Chain A
Amino acid sequence: MPNYIIQKCLLFLLVMSSTALYGQVKYEKESRMKEKDVPKMALDFINSLEGKGKVKWYLEEGLDQTSVEAKFKLNRQKHSIEFDTTGNLEDAEIQLTWKEISPAVRDSIDFFLGQDCKKYKIRRIQIQYSGEPGIVLQKIKTGEKVSDYAVRYELIVKCRKEVNVNLYEYLFSESGQKLSVSQIVFKNSSHLEY
């Protein structure tokens, strides 16, 4: 068979194989923001924190909501503070180590992860504070609890189940009760592999 006929057949097979479409994945777009575009309330909140490293601002656009996020280091810990688009505080997340969590909470988290996964490894832990901005600010500045605020733990976990291994985002309450879990869908990397 002449070469060009084989080539045409291969091209036809490729086009015909492009039928099935896969389900929608969660749309989330994150881009850098200039400081001049940050809502004043959010800027004032971050500027009131002394001794912090360089602040990077991001705009996170999801299907349901858009947030403004500041990322920086303070006291050698990674901080991530999220605001709505008008500058109201949503929550503050600070990266922790496993040992910084109380033993009772650790045991509870271990119990739930052991139920879900055959084998697991915690990749990242963040403690999440939300509530009145002044109280959360005080907590970040001094570490002291002056009034009530909500505490949650957000964990990124590599979890091996029966047939496959994936990365999950877990949310636990202050006492270590499982609140939610969602699978992290990676961006396609085929352009780096082929």
Chain B
Amino acid sequence: MNINKEILLVLCLAHFFSLRISAQSTYQLGSLPSINLNHKLENDWTVNFKIESRQVMQRGSFDGKSEKSFDYVLTDYSMIAAKKLGLNSRLSGGYLIRFREKEIIHRLIQQYTITQRLTSLRLAHRVVTDQTFFENEDTEYRLRYRLATELPLNGQSADIGEFYLKISNEYLNSFQSSEYDLEVRLVPLLGYTATEKQKVELGIDYRVNSFLSNNARNSFWICLNWFVDI
């Protein structure tokens, strides 16, 4: 992709988001820390355990109303097993359990990833289908696509003791009770390769949904991710 195309893409995204943030749009601001544990098995199998928690610190609308309060929202635990198919591709399947107030939610996950190693960056394409089972709601089916890139800030790869930028853009199509919704996520993160087996990332996870039929709901999560190979 040349520079002109990149500028065009950024302008399109900026235009898209500026349309969606109207005065009636609501927002929430909070934190989304996560721990990712990865374990390598024999015959090109890997397994990933993830714990992610969500807390809201402020809610409001873009017309000025806001309310500050610290509320714990939920915690997710997931386990995904992956098998390397080709040199750069992996097929995975897993299960997530979500604890939200007194409700327990179950999710089945299937994903396919392709990681491209270019001269000075890495690109990862991820296609996910998942099915979420609620206690008092119909099952939600989602189809997701995410493009993530790692840009080393020094040299051609993010080595130990070096920083990198990780930017991802994801589109989530949701189908539930014959209703459709689209969520868009944009996640810029600053990462640090602490050791051969540990990475830490800090940034913002921006999400917007409900904009197709209602006022947009915007979420800004402060992310702190810790990746560990065990």
Q: Hey, which chain A residues are within 8 Å of B196, CB to CB?
A: 25, 27
Q: Hey, which chain B residues are within 8 Å of A18, CB to CB?
A: 37, 39, 228, 230
Residue of B with least CB distance to A59: B155
Checking A11, A17, A164, A193 against B113 with a beta-carbon cut-off of 8 angstroms, the contacting residue is A193
Chain B contact-residue range equals 35 or more
Q: Is the CB of A193 within 8 A of B126?
A: yes
* B interface SS class: strand
Q: Hey, which chain A residues are within 8 Å of B158, CB to CB?
A: 187
Q: Is the CB of A165 within 8 A of B86?
A: yes
Q: How many residues of A contact B (CB 8 A)?
A: 34
The A1-46 residues at the B interface (CB cut-off 8 A) are 3, 6-7, 10-11, 14, 17-22, 25, 27, 29-32
Assuming the contacts A192-B150, A193-B90, A193-B115, asked whether A14 and B155 have C-beta atoms less than 8 A apart, the reply is no
Interface string of B131-158 (1 = CB under 8 A from A): 0000000000000000011100011111
Q: Is the CB of A11 within 8 A of B40?
A: no
Residue of A with least CB distance to B114: A193
Assuming the contacts A191-B166, A192-B150, asked whether A11 and B51 have C-beta atoms less than 8 A apart, the reply is yes
Residue of B with least CB distance to A123: B87
Q: Is the CB of A190 within 8 A of B87?
A: no
CA distance A152 to B230 in the complex (A): 39
Interface string of B86-125 (1 = CB under 8 A from A): 1100101000010100101000000101010100001010
Q: Is the CB of A17 within 8 A of B39?
A: yes
Interface string of A126-170 (1 = CB under 8 A from B): 000000000000000000000000000000001000011111000
Q: Is the CB of B51 within 8 A of A165?
A: no
Q: Hey, which chain B residues are within 8 Å of A191, CB to CB?
A: 36, 150, 166, 191, 199, 201, 225, 227
Q: Is the CB of A189 within 8 A of B80?
A: no
Q: Is the CB of A192 within 8 A of B115?
A: yes
| Distance (whole angstroms) from the CB of A110 to the closest CB of chain B | 20
Checking B154, B191, B229 against A31 with a beta-carbon cut-off of 8 angstroms, the contacting residue is B154
Assuming the contacts A3-B99, A158-B87, asked whether A186 and B43 have C-beta atoms less than 8 A apart, the reply is no
- Decide if A83 is an interface residue (CB 8 Å cutoff): no
CA distance A186 to B157 in the complex (A): 11
Q: Hey, which chain B residues are within 8 Å of A190, CB to CB?
A: 36, 38, 46, 48, 227, 229
- Decide if A188 is an interface residue (CB 8 Å cutoff): yes
| Distance (whole angstroms) from the CB of B6 to the closest CB of chain A | 19
Q: Is the CB of B166 within 8 A of A29?
A: no
Q: Is the CB of B155 within 8 A of A163?
A: no
CA distance A133 to B209 in the complex (A): 62
- Decide if A172 is an interface residue (CB 8 Å cutoff): no
| Distance (whole angstroms) from the CB of A107 to the closest CB of chain B | 26
Checking A20, A163, A188 against B38 with a beta-carbon cut-off of 8 angstroms, the contacting residue is A188
The 5 closest A-B pairs by CB, nearest first: A192-B124, A18-B230, A29-B159, A31-B155, A190-B38
Q: List 19 A-B contacts (CB under 8 A).
A: A6-B99, A18-B230, A19-B230, A22-B229, A25-B196, A29-B161, A30-B155, A30-B156, A30-B159, A32-B154, A165-B86, A165-B87, A189-B124, A190-B227, A191-B36, A191-B150, A191-B199, A193-B48, A193-B111
